[in-house]
């Protein structure tokens, strides 16, 4: 322990300028960043005195968000390279350093000058945003874990296999380029990949473990090439295996299939039917190079039981032609497809290559769609009356006074602590008439609602800031002029996971839409059963 | 006397290049061992292998009874290492360096430290990066002598230093020499000759000889034979006769295994009727050159032209 403290004291004395810069930037970040909340709450868009100053602060806040990890990068590089692990000329390798003490001293340095200030900064931001940081201790610690896995430990590992800062920068850029290339190749192979709820749970610990092993190998034995090999190989293997894993297997694990038969339909969290009555004439999509075409598949959604909701997360489409031809899409994510009880029209996108389209366009096909569906159940509900003041919604966040909002009395931003909110349906009745001082009559308006947040249950999301902003929009579209009047109750209903399942929809004897070229060469598909 | 350092068939290869080729030698405790050899002979590789800075490909080495490959941490409390191209903590002052290193060594002697600082005239408040090469080396010496190491390994410690600094360092070293074993590498033979008790000669990764200085000097003689008329060298001269040359009536060679009267008799018999035969003691430099040239001639003859490096 004495050696740890001794090395730590040496590093503290030696790198005080770097430490001072890092802390100064963090302090500036804490002081300036709250201006972002004013921006998201619309304040900065109000012209008047101080408007330019606020805009400058917003720019500064954005710069500081980047500068904070950059100073960490510098700090980590300096402290690790002070006892460089690469090369055979370092004075310290023939001195009585115990490698465990050396690692301990470096970790202590990061704990004192990186983690602790960051924890304090995050707590200060929470306090500034109106949250009591002591109520978010697990989230704050989880946030440190995410920062470790995403920034600190990988940088520490890279620093341990490079000789100096310049080489560390080049190595980091090299790794970044390789990862981007792999991601690009993945995107080339499959333009979108399905989103499963568990992807980050696996990759983060594997990368952390690889980095930890590389760091240990370096400090204990200084086997540079072994450590470098680990650092290069493991993330690539993780990414390639993520790309190479059959979607079907991953999705089957995340979304088990319901049992077949009539009971399955009854059990299903949602009834999905093809809307044969619809002619879907809207221009949808055409790749500029004419390589891909697409259309919207009209659907009728029903069957969601009371106090429940269903979310379509991903969809996969297969086509079987009467001539034996077969085509299948990969799993693609679907956004904003949440359904409450009742019957609703909806649609999902079908995209296919132009060549595949040509194979099927003139023959009857059997269309099979498989949906990854999440069933959620209404839980805690909180009703808040807008009184023109900020209001706090438990387990959700802090919201500004709605009626004074700049943008629209139907759209507002709420601050949440450490992560985006849990999945919540925000609903209110909007006034059909202009608001006046009188209280609106219940039932004398238009119901409106918006889904916010996600089902992810992590206590924190990765971020330099600890305060997140979520936009709640109760406007149906941009022409919606209805407003929420002061005094209107707003209901925040939180939803919790019930189950995830796959559901199938088969449409036989379908003819693919006719592809039309408009004057501006935009392709149009019309789908007719 | 027990050996402070010993190696056994120690080899280091970088791909197809052999830096050390099955080197076996030992340094007795209390010796000042000069490891000499031309640039690229493998001296630095040898010292780095002993200090566990690099790992040998095969063979083994022991330093103070410790296997060199396990030498780490507290093992260095009794071992010092100074190299001409060592990367020092440049941002530290001399005082900060000494203060920083002090707690690492239980045997650190503050009085000795103060004496060394005075003796080397070290500027305590100046940063290492602002010191001259000589001063940096003095600081390295002071930081390695102050804890009274039992073994001190020095890699070309005097290379590129002016004579004054060199003498100061040697003086400082010799003051402590009685209580430690010193192994130092150099290609400056005159410098080594002045104070080394033992000498080892590396050539292209192979240890050509390793002996006590006195024994070595006794073993080598430059032999000059004056004959009555021109003489042609026989092809089957003894292997210990190195660099044989004949010019008119004079034959010269280096006897690498001189054993007094026996050798005199041997040479006299080989050159019967010689007018005069002299056996002159040789300076280290001449011994070194004779061995090196003989080795190269032998190797060229054998067609062994494998490349070797001194890492």
In terms of domains, do B39 and B111 share one? yes
Give the sheet arrangement for strand B3-14, strand by strand.
B17-28, B3-14, B58-63, B66-67
Residue of A nearest to B100 (CA): A10
- Chosen domain end from B162, B183, B216: B216
In terms of domains, do B235 and B212 share one? no
In a domain, B19, yes or no: yes
Nearest to B31 by CA among B141, B146, B148, B152: B152
Contact (CB<8Å) B76/A82: no
Please count the structural domains in chain B: 2
Q: Which residues of B touch A (CB under 8 A)?
A: 48, 51, 53-54, 72-77, 79-81, 83, 85-89, 91-92, 96, 100-101, 103-105, 140
Contact indicator for A286, A292 with CB cutoff of 8 Å: yes
- As a whole number of angstroms, the distance between CA A22 and CA A52 comes to 27
In a domain, B305, yes or no: no
Own/partner contacts of B173-177, CB < 8 Å, gap of 24 or more, are B173/B141, B173/B145, B175/B119, B176/B145, B176/B148, B176/B152, B177/B32
Res A391: pLDDT: 80
Residues from chain B contacting residue A6 (CB–CB below 8 Å): 100, 103-104
Q: Which residues contact A242 (CB under 8 A, 6 or more apart)?
A: A186, A199, A203
Residue of A nearest to B48 (CA): A88
Query: How many angstroms away from the CA of B72 is the closest CA of chain A?
Result: 7
Contact (CB<8Å) A93/B53: yes
Band of pLDDT at residue A431, cut at 50, 70 and 90: confident
**Tens digit of each residue's pLDDT (9 = 90 or more) over A350-391:** 778 778 888 887 888 888 989 988 989 988 888 887 666 778
In terms of domains, do B137 and B234 share one? no
Domains of chain A, earliest start first:
2-245 (no CATH), 264-377+499-528 (2.60.40), 387-487 (no CATH)
In terms of domains, do B99 and B206 share one? yes
Q: Which residues contact B58 (CB under 8 A, 6 or more apart)?
A: B9, B10, B11, B22
In terms of domains, do B28 and B173 share one? yes
B77: domain CATH number is 3.40.50.300
- As a whole number of angstroms, the distance between CA A108 and CA A372 comes to 46
In a domain, B296, yes or no: no
Of A88, A89, A96, the CB nearest to B104: A96
Q: Within an 8 Å CB–CB cutoff, is residue A392 touching chain B?
A: no
Using the predicted structure, report yes or no on whether residue A105 has a pLDDT greater than 90: yes
What residues form DSSP beta bridges with B87? A90
Nearest to B80 by CA among B58, B59, B64, B56: B64
- As a whole number of angstroms, the distance between CA A528 and CA A301 comes to 19
What tens-digit pLDDT sequence spans chain B (311 residues)?
A: 578 899 999 999 998 888 998 989 999 988 999 998 888 889 999 999 999 999 999 999 999 999 999 898 889 999 999 998 888 988 899 999 999 999 999 999 999 999 899 888 889 999 999 998 888 888 998 999 999 999 999 998 888 788 888 888 888 888 888 889 999 998 778 788 888 899 998 888 898 888 888 888 888 999 998 888 777 777 677 888 888 888 888 888 888 888 888 888 888 888 887 888 898 988 888 888 888 777 777 777 766 544 444 44
What average pLDDT does chain A have? Answer: 80
In terms of domains, do B118 and B265 share one? no
Q: Is B271 exposed, middle or buried (0-12, 13-18, 19+ CB in 10 A)?
A: middle
In a domain, B248, yes or no: yes
In terms of domains, do B152 and B205 share one? yes
In a domain, B110, yes or no: yes
Contact indicator for B249, B228 with CB cutoff of 8 Å: yes
Query: How many angstroms away from the CA of B88 is the closest CA of chain A?
Result: 6
Band of pLDDT at residue A526, cut at 50, 70 and 90: very low
Percent of all residues in chain A with a pLDDT value above 70, rounded to a whole number: 78
What residues form DSSP beta bridges with A146? none
In terms of domains, do B146 and B253 share one? no
Res A430: pLDDT: 75
- As a whole number of angstroms, the distance between CA A347 and CA A274 comes to 9
Residues from chain A contacting residue B79 (CB–CB below 8 Å): 94
In terms of domains, do B254 and B154 share one? no
Res A524: pLDDT: 44
Using the predicted structure, report yes or no on whether residue A527 has a pLDDT greater than 50: no
In a domain, B156, yes or no: yes
CA dihedral A205, A208, A213, A215 (to 10 degrees): -170
Q: Can you give the residue range of the structural domain that contains B251?
A: 221-281
More confident position, A285 or B302: B302
Residue of A nearest to B82 (CA): A91
Q: B50, B69, B78, B100: which to substitute to probe chain A, counting the most A Cβ within 10 Å?
A: B100
In terms of domains, do B204 and B252 share one? no
Band of pLDDT at residue A439, cut at 50, 70 and 90: low
Contact (CB<8Å) A90/B87: yes
Contact (CB<8Å) A96/B75: yes
Q: Within an 8 Å CB–CB cutoff, is residue A98 touching chain B?
A: yes
In a domain, B303, yes or no: no
Contact (CB<8Å) A87/B87: yes
In a domain, B304, yes or no: no
Nearest to A450 by CA among A336, A334, A305, A344: A336
Contact (CB<8Å) A96/B87: no
In terms of domains, do B205 and B275 share one? no
More confident position, B69 or A445: B69
Q: Is A196 exposed, middle or buried (0-12, 13-18, 19+ CB in 10 A)?
A: buried
Contact (CB<8Å) B83/A89: yes
Residues from chain B contacting residue A97 (CB–CB below 8 Å): 73, 76, 104
In terms of domains, do B201 and B228 share one? no
Of B48, B73, B103, the CB nearest to A6: B103
Mean pLDDT check: name the lowest of A242-256, A341-355, A418-432: A242-256
């Amino acid at each position: 322990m004495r050696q740890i403290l001794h090395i730590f004291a040496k590093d503290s004395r030696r790198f005080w300028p770097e430490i001072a810069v890092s802390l100064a930037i963090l302090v500036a970040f804490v002081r300036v960043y709250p201006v972002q909340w004013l921006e998201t709450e619309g304040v900065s868009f109000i012209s008047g005195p101080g408007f330019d100053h606020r805009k400058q602060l917003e720019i500064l806040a954005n710069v500081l968000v980047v500068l904070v990890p950059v100073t960490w990068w510098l700090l980590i590089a300096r402290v690790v390279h002070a006892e460089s692990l690469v090369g055979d000329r370092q004075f310290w390798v023939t001195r009585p350093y115990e490698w465990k003490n050396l690692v301990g001293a470096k970790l202590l340095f990061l704990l004192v000058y990186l983690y602790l200030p960051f924890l304090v900064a995050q707590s200060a931001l929470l306090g500034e945003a109106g949250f009591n940081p002591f109520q978010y201790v697990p989230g704050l610690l989880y946030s440190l874990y995410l920062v470790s896995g995403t920034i600190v430990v990988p940088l520490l590992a890279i620093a341990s296999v490079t000789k100096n800062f310049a080489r560390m920068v080049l190595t980091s850029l090299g790794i970044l380029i390789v990862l981007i290339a792999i991601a690009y190749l993945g995107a080339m192979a499959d333009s979108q990949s399905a989103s499963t709820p568990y992807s980050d749970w696996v990759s983060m610990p594997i990368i952390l473990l690889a980095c930890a092993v590389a760091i240990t190998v370096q400090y204990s034995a200084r086997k540079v090439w072994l450590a470098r090999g680990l650092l290069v190989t493991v993330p690539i293997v993780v990414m390639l295996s993520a790309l190479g894993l059959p979607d079907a297997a991953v999705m089957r694990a995340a979304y088990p299939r319901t049992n077949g038969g009539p009971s399955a339909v009854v059990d299903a969290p949602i009834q999905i039917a093809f809307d044969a009555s619809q002619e879907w004439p809207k221009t949808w999509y055409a790749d500029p190079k004419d390589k891909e075409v697409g259309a919207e598949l009209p659907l009728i959604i029903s069957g969601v039981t009371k106090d429940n909701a269903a979310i379509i997360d991903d969809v996969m489409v297969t086509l079987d032609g009467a001539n034996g031809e077969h085509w299948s899409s990969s799993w693609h994510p679907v956004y904003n497809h949440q359904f409450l009880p009742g019957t609703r029209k909806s649609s999902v996108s079908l995209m296919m290559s132009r060549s595949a389209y040509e194979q099927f366009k003139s023959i009857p096909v059997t269309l099979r769609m498989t949906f990854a569906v999440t069933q959620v159940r209404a839980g805690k509900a909180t009703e808040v009356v807008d009184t023109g003041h900020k209001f706090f919604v438990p387990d959700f966040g802090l919201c500004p006074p709605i009626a004074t909002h700049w943008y629209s009395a139907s759209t507002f931003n709420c601050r949440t602590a450490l992560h985006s909110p849990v999945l919540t349906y925000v609903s209110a009745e909007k006034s059909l008439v202009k608001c006046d001082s009188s209280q609106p009559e219940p039932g004398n308006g238009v119901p409106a609602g918006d889904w916010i947040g996600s089902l992810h249950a992590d206590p924190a999301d990765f971020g330099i800031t600890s305060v997140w902003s979520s936009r709640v929009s109760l406007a149906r579209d941009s022409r919606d002029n209805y407003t929420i009047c002061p005094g209107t109750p707003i209901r925040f209903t939180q939803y919790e996971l019930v189950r995830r399942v796959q559901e199938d929809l088969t449409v036989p004897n379908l003819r693919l839409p006719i592809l039309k070229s408009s004057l501006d060469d935009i392709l149009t598909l019309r789908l007719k059963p | 006397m027990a050996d402070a350092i010993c190696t056994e068939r120690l080899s280091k290869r970088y791909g197809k290049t052999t830096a050390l080729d099955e080197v076996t030698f030992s340094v007795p405790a209390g010796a000042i061992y000069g490891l000499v050899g031309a640039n690229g002979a493998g001296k630095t590789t040898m010292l780095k292998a002993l200090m566990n800075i690099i790992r040998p490909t095969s063979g083994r080495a022991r330093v103070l009874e410790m296997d060199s490959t396990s030498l780490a941490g507290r093992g260095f409390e009794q071992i010092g290492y100074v190299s001409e191209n060592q990367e020092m903590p440049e941002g530290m002052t001399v005082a900060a360096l000494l203060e920083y290193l002090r707690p690492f060594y239980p045997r650190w002697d503050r009085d000795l430290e103060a004496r060394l600082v005075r003796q080397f005239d070290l500027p305590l408040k100046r940063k290492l990066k602002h010191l001259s090469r000589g001063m940096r080396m003095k600081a390295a010496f002071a930081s390695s002598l102050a804890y009274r190491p039992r073994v001190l390994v020095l890699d070309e410690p005097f290379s590129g230093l002016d004579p004054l600094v060199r003498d100061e360092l040697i003086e400082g070293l010799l003051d402590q020499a009685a209580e430690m074993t010193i192994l130092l590498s150099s290609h400056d033979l005159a410098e080594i000759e002045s104070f080394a008790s033992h000498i080892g000669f590396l050539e292209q990764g192979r240890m050509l000889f390793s002996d006590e200085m006195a024994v070595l000097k006794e073993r080598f003689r430059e032999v000059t034979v004056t004959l009555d008329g021109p003489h042609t060298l026989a092809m089957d001269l003894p292997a210990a006769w190195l660099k044989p040359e004949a010019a008119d009536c004079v034959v010269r060679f280096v006897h690498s295994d001189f054993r007094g009267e026996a050798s005199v008799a041997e040479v006299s018999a080989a050159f019967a009727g010689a007018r005069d035969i002299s056996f002159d003691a040789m300076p280290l430099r001449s011994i070194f050159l004779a061995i090196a040239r003989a080795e190269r001639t032998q190797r060229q003859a054998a067609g062994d032209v494998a490349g070797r490096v001194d890492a």
